[in-house]
Amino acid sequence: MFPPLGRLGHHRLADGRSAFRVFAPEKLALRIVFDDGRAPLVLDGDALGYWSAATEALPAGTRYRVEVDGAAWPDPASRRQPEGVHGPSEVVDIVPAASPGWRGVEIDDAVIYELHVGTFTPEGTLAAATQRLGHLAALGVNVVELMPLAAFPGERNWGYDGVQPFALHAAYGSWAELRQFIEQAHALGLAVLLDVVYNHFGPEGNYTGQFAPYTRAAATPWGAAINFDGEYAYGVREYFAENLRFWVEDVGFDGVRLDAASEIHDNSPVPIVRELSELAREIGRRQRRRVLTIAEHLRNNARVTAADGLGCDAQWNDDLNHALVAWLTGERWRHYASFGRFEDVVTALARGWVLDGTRLDRFRRHFTGSDPAATLPHEHVVHVQNHDQVGNRPGGERLAALVGPERALLAAVAMFASPFVPMLFMGEEWGETTPFLFFEDFGDRRVVRGVRAGRRAENGFVPGFDPPNPHARSTFLAAKLRWPRAATPEGRFVLERYRRLIALKRAGELGPRERGAVQVDGDAATKLVRLAAPRTLTWLNLGPAEQAVAAPEGWTEVLCTVPQRTPGRLPGFAAVVWRAPG
């Protein structure tokens, strides 16, 4: 375990004075230098490499840098970078979200909605997003997952290129506006999770190496790995543990989604992910609320959620997405290479993982996965769209743009009727078709050229296709949701069905999450899938031909993905849900 956590960067002492604490082993001298001309503050070092000092209360807005052996840099634990990630840090006072009586949301009741602040609204701010929380409450979701908020270079980015994990990206708004977002969400019964990136730093503006070996030679797909098990790793581990504590305890989030946890390279006796999940539970116990940790691991590893493993509450499961998209589109490229059979959809609905270690993963070229029987349904977060599955496509196409709104709705019914935790990607609830491609605003031209070349290389399997330029502001603007589409006849049709699906899911009737509560049967000849639960019966027609379907006597049809159908018949690529009487 790391030593007891201490505040990093600028923080207030109990008597109101300002204090600084910085991890910088093997350095000779550290000072805080201020932009307003006041005398520098000399920090004192200890045997572990931590440097600290206290001074009179500095007013909010005071700008400063940390001078290390004569060279000044942004504070690695800065709370605000008003002039961007290359500029000075700023003293801020953060008041935690106050939600008296709030107890959070249990994972086995969660319906998650993933959103990107910059493209969720035309304004692209937290204040504007707060005004849309009523829509989410009316939709019925109860967990909002924000893509990363940590400061990154420029105006726009998905957020996974952050370099200041403690700082709120300035273009999204103020800490007070984030507090208002969280408090309003809680008032509406919505938990708020934050997507955090603990596997790498972005390629521009990362100055942590000037202080300590925060990264090491091991590579992730996005750059050097975080140093969780090498020299001075204890300080790096504390930095990220303190970061989780900061966002959850000091800011008020209800938990985190750990980005690309499988790329967190750590051979320590107790892995950092385990320590983070334990820390989240400890904060939850202390504050008497539910704090969640969800891992994006994507290796179908039951140890991620095992009590004697990494201990996360749940993990992202891409297999249902891949099985449905491969089946509905016929695509077999990259991660769809191992999917495409009717049986894959049935397996994903019944067991959670298709790749369970018994068959070759043709994308990764090895036997991915483990037996899902060791997991519980609520340990799987499933989706038919998310930022990666849409944004990493050649054209950033959403499912409704690929296969049409009715087939996309069929996939959504499959997701909700499964016993797993459903997750939506912003806009899918009304059949949004705007593309969502990767976008960035790096200032380093070498990085801009590298990103452009990388996107072209990733899409080289599409002859003659040149993906939109990630650096162009038009790529960012094209990704913004078109809210008026929700009010069109087509948008209202899809939206109403999403509301019904979520209501049935939240009531425990559609896709109940107890092990064995949903019986899944598939007929390869007719391409019909039947999902039977104690209170609902769902039929999915995954083929083009109309098929005969029936419900038990007295059951009521509550939802169909097509406007009209012949009684007793289900059109091709459609779904119907019946509910038991009473």
Q: To which H or E segment does residue 410 belong?
A: helix 405-417
pLDDT score of 387 more than 70: yes
296 a catalytic residue: yes
Residues 488-535 have pLDDT tens digits of 999 999 999 999 999 999 999 999 999 999 999 999 999 999 999 999
Catalytic residue among 259, 356, 397, 428: 259
Catalytic choice (249, 296, 318, 319): 296
Q: Are strands 519-523 and 528-532 parallel, antiparallel or unpaired?
A: antiparallel
Give the distance from CA 233 to its chain's centroid: 26
pLDDT at 450 over 80: yes
Q: How many residues does the chain have?
A: 582
- 461 pLDDT band, cuts 50/70/90, is low
pLDDT of residue 321: 98
Residue of 329, 410, 341, 385 lying closest to 573 (CA atoms):
410
pLDDT tier, 581 (very low <50, low <70, confident <90, very high otherwise): very high
In one-letter notation, the amino acid at residue 216 is R
Cα–Cα distance for residue pair 100/128, rounded to 1 Å: 24
CA dist 398 to 128, 368, 494, Å? 23, 27, 14
CB 565 within 8 A of CB 533: no
Provide the mean pLDDT of the chain: 96
Question: Which of 528, 498, 267 lies closest to 405, judged by CA?
Answer: 498
- For the chain, which domains are there? 109-198+248-272+290-441+468-506 (3.20.20.80), 519-579 (2.60.40.1180)
User: What per-residue confidence (pLDDT) applies to 523?
Assistant: 98
| H helix intervals, 330-393 | 342-351, 387-391
- Alpha-carbon distances of 200 from 167, 221, 257, 452, rounded to whole Å: 16, 9, 15, 20
Tell me how crowded residue 299 is: count the other CB atoms within 10 A of its CB: 16
Label residue 554 by pLDDT band (50, 70, 90): very high
Instruction: Please confirm, yes or no, whether 259 is among the known catalytic residues.
Output: yes
How much is the pLDDT for 4?
Answer: 59
pLDDT at 459: 74
For the segment 85-121, what is each residue's pLDDT rounded down to a tens digit? 999 999 999 999 999 999 999 999 999 999 999 999 9
In the sheet that holds 528-532, the strands lie side by side as 519-523, 528-532, 536-541, 574-579, 556-560
Amino acid at 160: Y
Only one residue has tokens 């912003």, namely 426
- Verdict on whether the full-model pTM lies above 0.75: yes
| DSSP letters for 189-241 | T-EEEEEE--S---SSS--GGGTS--EEEEEETTEEEE-SSSTTHHHHHHHHH
Q: What does the pLDDT look like over 397-412, one tens digit per residue?
A: 999 999 999 999 999 9
Instruction: Check residue 398 and give its pLDDT.
Output: 98
